Structure 1
């Protein structure tokens, strides 16, 4: 009975904080009420409020600052990235599955950009990134601008849920692709850069099939480097 009561209490605290977020009374960057204030407001125990706050912290929604309190961050992607890492360690997934997911989701990203007609707002930035990628003289520069290109494609969907979820997975994937590019020979680097240009051209021409072909060329190269490691 005691355990059930405690569960109800921390759920009460969670529901209260979620409601504060929904109404805008609690926004990203705001400090949460203290454990004592929450406990008194909701007539629950301090242990229950502490458990609710700990759960939100593990989910990446808040951060605890020593001597200052708990603040809403909204960084759920960090928690999802950690979950993917744990799944890899426990062999509940593997590189091949994540690479396949990333390839197919990038095709879905391009379809969304075409359907929502968002490219005009992002084309200048994508073009600038490709220029910088072509000018890259080191693997470190190549890695940076490669990541910028794919991240900007994701941003161009203007879909906050997709951005959150795919950023979480991409955090893991980027570690691998960075290592692959760093050790790739110059010909592979050249082909990877070319596939980026082909993809942007296909988007400009509103040709989804050409987008898929460019993505497959890019990921065939990337996966060959990643999965042979």
Structure 2
């Protein structure tokens, strides 16, 4: 194993042990580079490189002049990974969308059990505004609606993964998303799907919810695959 990998592992082991013993917790400051290098018996440059890698992965946050702190930016970590895999042609939009659809369904099922009156009221306001808003505003509200449903699921991992997936998809095909909302027929179909999703959540009807979420993503995916020249694959509802 190359020396730099051993050095990185030493820094990672130090952080894991400090977290397990309670010496460190999220938001707390780690040892300065010099002291950490002396403590671990590695060079300061090796410590600096390990910290840089861990910062990029979202596990550390560096604040110039203040130090380096324990962080937990799961969303950024995942989105960076998704972005890179897209650029390397290791995954496709279709695969990302299929994963997102499955997670949205699970988030919806959990939300049907856990959604609060306040969250449901917000969703009703969103779909009502979507009836008459501009295409640009509709795009924003669509994201807000799905974020709210994810938050209502109460599952932090699902929330972070969905945000990362959405961030990656939006980054690479933001213009295509806008085209979906500018097409009146597609926009109307999406509006109906959104209304059905919110109605199902209000009645905690998981069967209707599954049908509505599946219908929503079949509409979106049909447009996305057409733009990216990927084969369309309809999703079967889960019951």
| Range into which the TM-score falls when normalised by the shorter chain | 0.7 to 0.9
Q: Find the aligned partners of 1:48 and 1:90 in 2 and give their Cα distance.
A: 28
- Computed over aligned residues only, the root mean square deviation of the Cα atoms, in angstroms, reads 2.4
Partner of 2:59: 61
8 Å CA contact retained: 2:29, 2:69: yes
**Aligned-partner SS, 1:214:** helix
8 Å CA contact retained: 1:177, 1:222: no
1:25 and 2:21 equivalent? no
Q: Find the aligned partners of 1:185 and 1:9 in 2 and give their Cα distance.
A: 54
Q: Find the aligned partners of 2:43 and 2:25 in 1 and give their Cα distance.
A: 22
1:73-84 superposed matches below 5 A: 73-84=71-82
Q: Find the aligned partners of 1:124 and 1:16 in 2 and give their Cα distance.
A: 46
8 Å CA contact retained: 1:202, 1:208: yes
Partner of 1:194: 192
Cα displacement (A) at 1:101: 1.7
Query: Compared with structure 1, are the counterparts of its residues 133 and 76 closer, same or farther at alpha carbon in structure 2 (3 Å cutoff)?
Result: same
Query: Compared with structure 1, are the counterparts of its residues 53 and 40 closer, same or farther at alpha carbon in structure 2 (3 Å cutoff)?
Result: same
1:37 and 2:35 equivalent? yes
Unaligned 5+ runs, structure 1: none
Q: TM-score, normalised by structure 2?
A: 0.81
1:125-164 superposed matches below 5 A: 125-136=122-133, 138-164=134-160
Partner of 2:162: 166
Unaligned 5+ runs, structure 2: 228-239
**Count of matched residue positions in the alignment of Structure 1 and Structure 2:** 223
Partner of 2:107: 109
Q: Find the aligned partners of 2:23 and 2:204 in 1 and give their Cα distance.
A: 39
Q: Find the aligned partners of 1:24 and 1:139 in 2 and give their Cα distance.
A: 50
**Aligned-partner SS, 1:14:** helix
Cα displacement (A) at 1:216: 2.0
**Aligned-partner SS, 1:143:** helix
Cα displacement (A) at 1:181: 4.2
